[in-house]
Structure 1
Amino acid sequence: MRVADLTTPALLVEAGALEANLADMAAVLPGPRLRPHVKAHKTTALAARQLAHGHQGFTCATVREVEGMAAAGLGADLLLANEVLDARRLGAVVDSGARVTLAIDSEATLRAAVDGGIREVLVDVNIGLPRCGIAPDRAGALADAARAAGLRVRGVMGYEGHLQMLADQAERARLTTECTDRLLAAHADVGGEVISGGGTGTHTMNTACTEIQAGSYALMDTAYTAAGLTFRQSLTVLSTVVSATPPAGDMPGWAVADAGLKAFGMDHGNPTVPGADVWFCSDEHLTFTATPLPRPGDRIRIVPAHVDPTVALHERMHVVDGDGPDAEVLDSWPVDLRGW
């Protein structure tokens, strides 16, 4: 099959760029220094490629991701880096032989871990992002309660998500150090061998962490590229131009492609069409202008602004060799961790 044979819209992953990204990250964060976050791609076949580059532990965002990773034989060391109040499905995964660690930040999430059959936890610490996480000065007490309840406390985790795409890289590094210092202070009270945190945008700045939870580096998007990350853009959305209106008077011409709001994560803004100006997205369409104006039937590759929610909207990704319409489709991977 060739790219020209695919029905649009379709997720494309350029094989060479993907492998280069995986190799580059593995060189910077080899083996257990990286715990890839599968929420960015939700695809066990891609996780298997990360395993092939030496990363045996993975970060998950949902119970569904934990279940799917374990079922695919990738359950050697799974971290659910989110709080849940019903961990029974996770306990079933543990009983099947997988290793599952759960983030806790309160007595309620601690109790859910115990009741659900979880045996290992990380204390999730609020290091600056107003989301989940216990205050650093209360982390030790929660760890003591977890041990008293029979759990193994492996260490701490924290996420400076509000800094990942800060444009000023020096400021990003400075603030990341401040956040990591809070995590280290909590770790001094909690104990354990794991200090987990970071992401693609701070993967070289979190030197005190024992493991980094980066995920977007494999596929990339325009938001991370704008933040100065040098990983290659391996993921695009293939779309077909379905309408074109030529210029008239003072009005420039425009074209419409068949990939809109239901094909892209839009929280970081419009996707990008290289060499064109995107006007807006609607439910099923993307409207843009370009010179020369494409014709109906032309294929374009669109770059998402936020990779994670974009991937979650699609059922599969096609691994391709090259960027032209005659590029070969090497494989098609189900996005098998999507959904709840």
Structure 2
Amino acid sequence: MTSVHDLATPAAVVDIDALEHNLATMATRLPGALLRPHVKAHKSTALADLQRQHGHRHFTCATVREMIGMARAGLGDDLLLANEVVDVERLRELAALQDQAMITVAVDSDVTVDAAAQAGIRHVLIDVNIGLPRCGCAPSDAGRLADAARRRGLVVRGVMGYEGHLMVSDDRAAQRRETLSAMEVLNRTALDVGGDVISAGGTGNHDVHAEHRADTGVTEVQAGSYALMDTYYGTLGLPFRQALSILGTVVSSHEKWAVADVGLKSLGMDHGNPSIAGCKVWFCSDEHITFATEKVESRAASPVRAASPVRAAQPTVGSRVRVIPAHVDPTMAMHEHLWLVRGDEVLDRWPIDLRGW
């Protein structure tokens, strides 16, 4: 088989053993329909199919293209577009797939309800704002909106909310309390809305939902990043391994730093700098990452002088480095293929076929 050293860089590579560990671990914590994996994190029908093999048949999508790609790949048992869309023509593309896939669309306003109805969408969830300043109607307006949707002939399956502001916290006890508080709001709103779906959560607080299901009241968790992971979630001590890295080639090396061909065009940077094992990342530019090896203890100690830290030699030009992204979702959107590896051996290549809008 091909070696990673033969791959053109930058290349998105996935440690297959870490990936399998992550999928198996989550399937144990949130089996079957308790997890609605969010495919925006990996944008690959091949990876989604692997998630299905671990028992998950309901999926969350962020774009119309993801929805269409999943349906056409035979992964349309139950697809949720957890994003508001006002483009009737795009929604009609989804409506045309409803005989082969279960399509549900999030709505949070009269405008999005009207767009769904005009397009011929059959099922919706009422998207409720539970603290994150993004999408979602006010909890007090959700019941009225559900009634408006039903008057337009839409089936209201229930509610969804995303407590994204609670995904990363150094204080896990506070995260649990605040998650339960947000879910209390969502559950009260669900009584006004009706339906049997209460959808929320993510990788960062999936454990709260898994361990306190009776208290959170959710019927499904929309986690996605757990499959591949990134440095953002890697700080939380979750039971998932870092599976994704961006393979780069050192293109320039100096006494104090080195440069590889992995930069802003191949990494999601909104959550900060990526990381390289044993190195300190200085900064990223369009095509480059500048980094330096970390200091190590010198062997030049004497009876009267302690060893002083010195920097190890920088990587040589042509050597390979693995860069760990800080945010998996936008990183995956920048690559066409995902290379499955075990050590340095390339096992397979998967298309990242759900990119784009």
TM bracket, shorter-chain basis:
over 0.9
Between the aligned partners of 2:291 and 2:48, the Cα distance in structure 1 is 34
Give how far 1:88 is off.
Answer: 3.4
Between the aligned partners of 1:85 and 1:261, the Cα distance in structure 2 is 30
Q: Secondary structure at the match of 2:188?
A: helix
Name which of 318, 323, 329 aligns with 1:297: 318
* 8 Å CA contact 1:42, 1:311 repeated in 2: yes
Name which of 290, 312, 315 aligns with 2:336: 315
Identity %: 61
How big is each residue's C-alpha offset from its partner over 1:175-221, in whole Å with a ceiling of 9 and x where there is no partner?
11111111001001011110001000011213221000000000000
1:226 aligns to 2:235 (yes or no): yes
Matched with 1:173 is 176
Give how far 1:14 is off.
Answer: 0.5
How big is each residue's C-alpha offset from its partner over 1:6-29, in whole Å with a ceiling of 9 and x where there is no partner?
011000000000011000000000
List alignment gaps of at least 5 residues for structure 1. Answer: 247-252
Between the aligned partners of 1:98 and 1:269, the Cα distance in structure 2 is 38
* 8 Å CA contact 1:66, 1:90 repeated in 2: no
How big is each residue's C-alpha offset from its partner over 1:46-73, in whole Å with a ceiling of 9 and x where there is no partner?
0000010011010000001001111111
Residue 255 of structure 1 aligns with an amino acid whose one-letter code is: A
Name which of 91, 101, 104 aligns with 2:104: 101
Matched with 1:239 is 248
Matched with 1:257 is 260
* 8 Å CA contact 1:319, 1:330 repeated in 2: yes
Matched with 1:123 is 126
Q: Secondary structure at the match of 1:58?
A: strand
1:335 aligns to 2:338 (yes or no): no
Matched with 2:48 is 47
* 8 Å CA contact 1:120, 1:153 repeated in 2: yes
Q: Secondary structure at the match of 2:258?
A: strand
* 8 Å CA contact 1:127, 1:158 repeated in 2: yes
The number of equivalent residue pairs is: 330
Residue 32 of structure 1 aligns with an amino acid whose one-letter code is: A
How big is each residue's C-alpha offset from its partner over 1:25-53, in whole Å with a ceiling of 9 and x where there is no partner?
00000000000000000011000000100
Relative to the length of structure 2, the TM-score reads: 0.91
What value does the CA root-mean-square deviation take over the aligned residues?
Answer: 1.0
Q: Secondary structure at the match of 2:207?
A: coil
Give how far 1:147 is off.
Answer: 1.1
Between the aligned partners of 2:65 and 2:27, the Cα distance in structure 1 is 26
* 8 Å CA contact 1:82, 1:103 repeated in 2: yes
In the TM superposition, what are the counterparts of 1:29-68 in structure 2 within 5 Å? Answer: 29-68=30-69
* 8 Å CA contact 2:95, 2:119 repeated in 1: no
Between the aligned partners of 1:84 and 1:94, the Cα distance in structure 2 is 13
Matched with 1:182 is 185
In the TM superposition, what are the counterparts of 1:150-229 in structure 2 within 5 Å? Answer: 150-206=153-209, 207=213, 208-229=217-238
Relative to the length of structure 1, the TM-score reads: 0.95
